[in-house]
Amino acid sequence: MHFLKKVLTILTLGFCTLSVQASPFSISEQQINQYLSEKGTINDKLGIPGLFSVDYSLKDLVTQIGQTESNRVEMSGLADTLIRLSGKTYPAKLHLTFDAVPEYNAQEGALYLKNLRILRWSGEPNSAMEQLQVVMPLLRDGIEVLLSR
């Protein structure tokens, strides 16, 4: 989680640079993407006990700041997942693209991503994707909670 906060802080600094032209500090998308590639993988899990759970490793993250919509950060990456649903386990690979609105809390010195939207997703194998379709809204909400902590 500490790694994720660093990533989000870097994203905010980059985003603020785009928004505030007089800022003496700047950071490029290339620098953010280099940092993400050096830091590796984010591991977490989410779910509803007794209903479903998803263990995942998010890697190969790439960022675009304000290119698709102003005031939004877009990220894409690969999630290696282990989905448990209805007593069955489905290993799957997801290709995710999501965006969010960065929000900096000066008192905490932390950046949060709000209003997360999963823009596109695909994956394999197809049998796991059929099962994931059912829980995708909950997965989106879980990722949003993770990023807004």
Query: For residue 125, is the peptide bond before it cis, meaning its omega torsion is within 30 degrees of 0?
Result: yes
Tokens 């993770």 correspond to: 146
What pLDDT was estimated at residue 23? 40
112-135 pLDDT, tens digit per residue, is 778 888 888 888 888 777 767 776
Strands 110-124 and 88-105: antiparallel
Q: How far apart are CA 67 and CA 38, in angstroms?
A: 23
Pick the CATH number of 2-148 from 3.30.300.30, 3.15.10.40, 3.40.50.720, 3.40.50.970: 3.15.10.40
Backbone angles phi, psi at 125, to 5 degrees: -75, 165
Q: How far apart are CA 45 and CA 1, in angstroms?
A: 11
pTM (two decimals): 0.65
Binning pLDDT at 50, 70 and 90, where does residue 14 land?
Answer: low
Tokens 């900096």 correspond to: 104
